[in-house]
Amino acid sequence: MEWLNGFIRNEIKELQPYEVADITCRVKLDAHENPYSLPVFIQKKIEQACSELAFNRYPDPYAHILRKNLSIKLSVSPEMIMMGNGSDELILYLLLCFGPKRVIFPLPTFSMYDILARITLSTAIGIPLDDGFEINEDKIIDEAKKEKEEKKKPAIIFLSYPNNPTGNCFSRKRIEKIIGQTDALVVLDEAYYEFSKETFLPLVYECERIVVLRTFSKAFGLAGLRVGYMIAQPQVINEVRKVKLPYNLNAFSQGSASLCIENAPLFLPIVQGIMDEQKRISDTLDTIYGIKAYPSKANFILFKIAENICAKDVFNSLINEGILIRYLGDMPGLNNCLRVTVGRPEENNEFLQAMQRIMGKEAVSPLNSP
């Protein structure tokens, strides 16, 4: 395959592809997915809309109806919204439009910031979180200033808020300090906003360098349809549109997401139920000997296994019981850590009961769902 090496960019040769574990388990709690199907009312509306779709026609390249519905929900102008085939695509577009340059992000965080930065010829710079999973704003600011000194180009800073995989929201004061003391484009990835209820969206009006990303994959349960969106000032949106593929979001996804937004109140009890379960899981994990659960404002929980027990062995033991979570011990700063997504109450009970057996201790509190 020597001929192939002559065609591949050196940056790509050094990359490892994003791998999704090909493991089938009865209980799937590994990917931050909403464990519930869409409300029946919305399912029926989608079925009706699907029967009326002209599959022989290209989708609306600007997703007018979806953007209008989102603009009403968010109280922003439709010109401030851009739709993507998942948030990943929008991250790629931002880097294609404004790079190559220094791309700065905390570690650990969403791995696609690093991967897409490298793909787009940018310099990926990860800044380790401190012991409390808080950002080191001074180091981020220093790195952002280097970009301006060396290349006369502002950097791009990606901040997952809440952070994936740690689950915490970084200090607002620290983020505001980054915004105020750099010329960087600051991208706040709010994929879990519906769970955390914390946002930087109002600052989009005050600062043209702020971009907010959100998704329909988590709270709205449309992970299989890949619908993300970006909120920024119109001049930013207009520039990013230059690199957007013309028909990037298919008609079925546009219509389904529009119906979800139109009926957003139906998802409120689902989200609340997930967060109630999240607290129950976290509280119960903390009663099991050898486990430390970290506070989370998302639909998942990061937890650490005692050093005398191998987290990878715990992970494999869960798989043997038909339960799939995520092993994170190979990520920086997450030695011997695992992450579990909140499932349905019966799935969460299975997970917790399995953890009790595997860790060899009974939980102090009962495993009764609310």
Tens place of pLDDT per residue across the chain (370 aa)? 678 888 888 888 888 888 777 888 999 999 999 999 999 999 999 999 999 999 999 999 999 999 999 999 999 999 999 999 999 999 999 999 998 899 999 999 999 999 999 999 999 999 999 989 999 999 999 999 986 666 668 899 999 999 999 999 999 999 999 999 999 999 999 999 999 999 999 999 999 999 999 999 999 999 999 999 999 999 999 999 999 999 999 999 999 999 999 999 999 999 999 999 999 999 999 999 999 999 999 999 999 999 999 999 999 999 999 999 999 999 999 999 999 999 999 999 999 999 999 998 544 444 444 4
Which residues in 268-306 are b (16+ Cβ under 10 Å) and which e?
eebbebbbebbebbbebbeebebbebbebbbbbbbbbbe
pLDDT at 369: 42
Q: Under a CB-based contact definition with an 8 Å cutoff, are residues 370 and 349 in contact?
A: no
Q: Which two tokens stand for residue 353?
A: 């009961």
pLDDT at 152: 64
The set of residues, in sequence order, having a beta carbon less than 8 Å from that of 209 and lying 6+ positions away, is: 154, 179, 183, 184, 185, 186
Total Cβ atoms within 10 A of residue 166: 28
Q: Under a CB-based contact definition with an 8 Å cutoff, are residues 342 and 167 in contact?
A: no
Alpha helices per DSSP H over the chain: 2-5, 10-13, 40-51, 64-74, 87-98, 112-119, 137-151, 172-181, 193-196, 203-206, 234-240, 251-262, 268-285, 311-320, 345-359
Q: Under a CB-based contact definition with an 8 Å cutoff, are residues 143 and 127 in contact?
A: yes
**Nearest 5°: CA angle at 106, between 102 and 111?**
85
The full set of domains in the chain, from first to last, is 2-30+267-359 (3.90.1150.10), 55-262 (3.40.640.10)
pLDDT at 174: 98
**Cα–Cα distance for residue pair 188/316, rounded to 1 Å:** 34
